[in-house]
Amino acid sequence: MKTEKQLITAECANYFREMNGITNYCCLGNGCVFFGEEEKPRCQYFETSVLPLDTDLEFRYRKERMLSTFNLIKSCKRCLEPFAGNNKEKYCKGCKVERKREQKKTHCLQRQSITAVTD
Ligand SMILES: [Zn+2]
């Protein structure tokens, strides 16, 4: 699993490894709070623009900071289990893998794989 720092160095538009002699520079302040001393730092920009890129991390981040994870909890369309996901995700991790497999199979077998609805 990624850490906030990894996500920031990879994705944050305000983060620079070094700028004007300051390491872990942030365009919005003096330095990136996630590289500072604070144990559970928060950053508005990070939360709205960077964090949603990684649902697992967002879930953990929010939990650690006692923030609501309500909008991150989806119920899986396939097994109906709750899981942490963003709006684009419809299936839990396990089902995502299964779906991929199924889609592959469907692709190979085409219409043969469509099973009849039980009554
Ligand atoms: Zn599922």
* 61 Cα–ligand 1 center, Å: 23
* 79 Cα–ligand 1 center, Å: 4
* 99 Cα–ligand 1 center, Å: 9
CB 48 within 8 A of CB 62: no
* Residue 14 to residue 31: CA distance in whole angstroms: 10
Q: Report which residue type is found at 60.
A: R
β partners of residue 75: 82
- pLDDT at residue 64, as a whole number: 95
Query: What is the bridge-based pairing of β-strands 73-75 and 82-84?
Result: antiparallel
- Model pLDDT for residues 52-86, shown as the tens digit of each residue: 999 889 999 999 999 988 888 889 999 999 888 87
* 95 Cα–ligand 1 center, Å: 4
- Tokens 């950053």 identify what position? 43
* 102 Cα–ligand 1 center, Å: 13
- Model pLDDT for residues 21-53, shown as the tens digit of each residue: 999 999 998 799 999 999 999 999 999 999 999
* 90 Cα–ligand 1 center, Å: 9
